[in-house]
A and B are shown apart, each in its own frame.
Chain A
Amino acid sequence: MKSHLIFYDHLKTAFQMVSTHRLRSLLSVVGIVFGVLTLMVTLSIGEGTRRKIMKTIEAMGSNLIYVSSHAGMSQDAGFEYIPLTEAECQRFKEVKGIEAYAPILSSAFLMQASTFQQVIPVEGTTPSYQRVRDLALDQGRFLADEDVLKESRGVVIGKDLAQFLFPFQNPLNQKVHLWDESFKVVGVLQKKGRTFGVDFDREVLMPLSTLQQIQGKRGEVQGAWIRTPRGDLTKQVMRQMEILLSRKDVEIWDQEALLSKKDRITRAFKWSLGSIALVSLLIGGIGVMNVLLVSVAERIREMGLRKAVGATSRDILFQLIFESVFLTLTGSCVGILLGLVTGDFIAWLLNTLLPSTEKWEAVFSWSSIGVAFHFSLWVGLLFGLYPAWKASRLDPCEALTYF
């Protein structure tokens, strides 16, 4: 049987139905359009966020290890934790395969200057931090052992911060005010960008002992960065450190562990939002079904006539399923296009509101378009089935005498 002929006619009928009832068709597919749009946006922004996080972590380098007494990776240290001690960190020297390590105490201060007032991340650390994090200096010097010993008020600041504070002056030896203390700039870092939670360009580094003194946390640290000579040594070092510290509340991360954890989290996040969008798409199918039922009720005589001139129940069934699929696919195309635009818009909005070195982006993949399209197809089939079945079961005689 030459079924492609009838396929073309179904397409034409479906198109005619949509074009003669434009407003109604539009309203019926609003649910589909929004479902697909949300799906596209959540998937693309979700994927963009995942990549952004991955890039940040990758920038960390494969030969770095981070130890913390808590999952203290986030900057808002609002939660309680049993701190690591400096004494515990001292013992890292015993671990074979460690090139350098630096204890870290992080904090944030409100910085007041004539031109601005802003919360600035502050890290207290030791001179070895320069080697561990591979920090190059633009001007001046890095923190020295002497600074730590004397709890000096010397700080190293990021390049962007320096330009902010001292746009027309040499920042070296200038005073900066943190809280109610005054500090002297001894060095300016070269531009490095945001790597792994820390924006070195906007940050203040001060001697560990100084920050401990200010915060009243003598001997406490939040975590430590450890550098191994080669990436393939990290696993072995991590094992040794676990034994050494023998603390359950200590987490030891390397790039790989962080990547897989964040990857899992962001993927789960992306798909949980995505499935909500899928549900809304499913609900959108009800709108389509409604309109098809109305359309069938309106076209009872048409169905009767088609049967009188030789259409089988199957012809009628296929015609209506076709119309349903045509409606939902049209809706999903509109949703995909709107989703592309909206995704980019949201990424742009995030970039203006929450600027960071790694840009926010909406990552569109063929797979998400495929998911949207595929799912709408099924929604169309599923919700078209009942109206189509109803239409195909009409008794042609009754249908023809129906007014």
Chain B
Amino acid sequence: MSETIILNSIEKKLERPQISSPILCELIAVSKEYSLDSGNVMALKDIHFRLYEKDFLSILGPSGSGKSTLLHILGLLSNPSKGRIFFKGQDVSCLSEWALARLRGQKIGFVFQAFHLLPSLNALENVALPLIYQRVSGGQRKRKALEALEKVGLARRSHHFPRQLSGGESQRVAIARALVSQPSLILADEPTGNLDTQMGKEILGMLKMLNEEGKTVVVVTHDVRIANEANRILFLKDGKVESLSSRGEAR
């Protein structure tokens, strides 16, 4: 896949009308450095960028460019080495570990390339997992988890274990899990990487539907066709923002 195609598609996005919407998440001068025995790795270098509510952003870039690292920082799973992150206007560096965990559990849903379903739990229990940590009672948990499974069309499979599900079904269960606490932000790291084109389309459709329902969606991908479905595309290279199709952004 040549970069010109990617850049062309980004230009198309730039032509879209600008809509202003509240800022969900803002990164200011964010850097992430990993220290290894063999020396330090700068995974992200001086990232400035805003994520708006109801946004559908895709993050594109070559392998090792820092896409996953950026997604983890957006999901408050790791702290930047430098810089600040504001989530809903709140400086997250001021939050306690407990408050961060609560934000992750209630406001953010993750979808991973490898699904990350717990093999010892059935579909329903996997979906209900985030609710455990919000101390939701058993009955409520079941009800909400079933609702989320229905939404991804897998209510019939609620008692199946991950090993009894196909890749596409597993990923839908994972999406249901990301939905179950009705978060405002869904972060997906190559959600279609392990699936065939047909399944990939289905998953993408689901993410689009969620975006239309008002959730902010960020998808990391290698696939330009998937990236093109998003409202905005962020192109990363060597840990830096190479380009960003800005829409509604007052720069």
Contacts and interface: CB of A to CB of B under 8 A. Distances in A.
Interface in B101-148: 101-102, 104-106, 110, 112, 116, 118, 120-121, 129-130, 132-138
Contacts of A314: 98
Interface string B74-88: 010110000000000
Nearest to B134: A310
B48 interface: no
Interface in A1-34: 1-3, 5-6, 8-9, 13, 16-17, 20
Contacts of A302: 118
Contact of A309 (B68, B120, B133, B135): B133
B105 A397 contact: no
A400 B116 contact: yes
Nearest to B140: A5
B97 interface: yes
Contact of B129 (A306, A395, A396, A397): A306
A308 B97 contact: no
B102 A313 contact: no
B208 interface: no
Contacts of B77: 307-308, 396-397, 400
Q: How large is the interface on B (under 10, 10 to 19, 20 to 34, 35 or more residues)?
A: 20 to 34
A305 interface: yes
Contact of B98 (A305, A307, A312): A312
Contacts of A2: 135, 137
A401 interface: yes
B101 to A, nearest CB: 4
B97 A5 contact: no
A306 B106 CA distance: 13
18 contacts: A5-B138, A6-B132, A6-B135, A8-B138, A20-B120, A305-B116, A308-B77, A309-B110, A310-B104, A310-B133, A312-B97, A312-B101, A313-B97, A315-B133, A397-B69, A397-B72, A397-B78, A400-B77
Contact of A310 (B101, B116, B121, B138): B101
Contacts of B97: 312-313
A301 interface: yes
B20 to A, nearest CB: 31
B13 interface: no
Interface residues of A, number: 30
B116 A311 contact: no
Contacts of A305: 116, 118, 129
B135 A307 contact: no
A144 B133 CA distance: 90
A309 B138 CA distance: 17
Contacts of B138: 5, 8
B177 interface: yes
B78 to A, nearest CB: 5
Contacts of B118: 302, 305
Given A5-B132, A6-B132, 17 more contacts: A9-B132, A16-B120, A16-B121, A302-B118, A304-B116, A306-B133, A307-B104, A309-B110, A309-B133, A310-B181, A312-B97, A312-B101, A397-B68, A397-B69, A400-B77, A400-B112, A401-B68
Contacts of A13: 120
Query: Per DSSP, are chain A's interface residues mostly helix, strand or loop, or mixed?
Result: helix
B101 A307 contact: yes
A394 B86 CA distance: 24
Contacts of A3: 135
B135 A1 contact: yes
Interface of A: 1-3, 5-6, 8-9, 13, 16-17, 20, 301-302, 304-315, 395-397, 400-401
A13 B118 CA distance: 11
Contacts of A304: 116
Nearest to B121: A16
A139 B120 CA distance: 79
A310 B68 contact: no
Nearest to A396: B77
A309 B105 contact: yes
A5 B130 contact: no
Contacts of A8: 138
B55 to A, nearest CB: 21
Contacts of A401: 68
Contacts of B112: 400
Given A5-B138, A305-B116, A400-B112, A312 B133 contact: yes
A230 B132 CA distance: 74
Contacts of A16: 120-121
Q: Which 4 A-B pairs have the closest CB atoms?
A: A310-B105, A309-B130, A310-B133, A312-B101
B78 A395 contact: yes
Nearest to A398: B78
B78 A309 contact: no
Nearest to A302: B118
Nearest to B34: A398
Contacts of B106: 310
Nearest to A315: B133
Contacts of B110: 308-309
B200 to A, nearest CB: 21
